[in-house]
Amino acid sequence: MGQHVAAVVAADPRLALVARFDRPGATGEGLISQDEALAAADVVIDFTVAAASAELAAVCAARGGPALVIGSTGMDAAQVAAVDAAAKQVPIIRARNFSLGVNMLMGLVEQAARALGPDAYDIEVFEAHHRHKIDAPSGTALMLGEAAAKGRGVDLAKVAKRGRDGITGERTTGEIGFAVQRGGGIFGDHSVTFAAEDEILTLSHSALDRGLFARGAVVAAAWVAGRPPGAYDMRDVLGFSRD
């Protein structure tokens, strides 16, 4: 992912890649120390691991910068709290998916769920990935479910239906369903349907290239540079209002 980010930055004349750094003791062409890198940068894009990201956020907060774009996943509650605490001192964007399209889809799903009530419209989230993916539903599918639940002002855990098998009875009003496909080399497809008796609205996204996540992270970095301290996400970058 670091290579993808570097390539996107190099292709944008408005931006400059001023440093690359890795874990302490790591060696490689062009790598410098963390301290040198933080001193040189306006924004750091971090796709590492949860523990390292939480530690980096604390370091940046202690020195008053630079801003951070964090794409690491799998953070526990303590690590999320550490990043949020650091965001009181420096601006930080943290997102589980930096695809501009996926984040736009999340915003649209939330708005649609707010407008299309549960008495008339049933919501189903569908996702498809390659045969090697080990978790289901995908993290992105759950994000879309969370967006739909937020639009309707409900807790996803209380309305989610993760699977159906056998004699299940009628669908419960307000339920948010999930359907999963695994097979072949599908990179990532997600869709959300709002199904009524007389119409079906489908909002969808297909990922075709891993570089799309790097492009989204770079857009986020350009947006967060110079912002006041705070915890931001991609909905802020895309301009969706947040209630």
| Residue 88: active-site member | no
pLDDT at 242: 53
pLDDT at 238: 85
- The stretches of 43-93 forming alpha helices (DSSP H) are 50-63, 77-86
pLDDT at 210: 78
Which stretches of the chain drop beneath a pLDDT of 70? 25-27, 241-243
| Residue 158: active-site member | no
pLDDT at 136: 87
Q: Look up the pTM and report it.
A: 0.75
Q: CA end-to-end span of the chain, whole Å?
A: 32
pLDDT at 97: 84
Contact present, 228 and 87 (Cβ < 8 Å): no
pLDDT at 49: 86
pLDDT at 211: 84
Q: Rounded CA gap, 53 and 168, in Å? A: 43
User: Is the sign of the CA dihedral 137, 106, 100, 98 positive or negative?
Assistant: negative
Query: Of residues 4, 88, 129, 161, which has the active-site annotation?
Result: 129
Domains defined along the chain, listed by start: 2-98+210-238 (3.40.50.720), 100-206 (3.30.360.10)
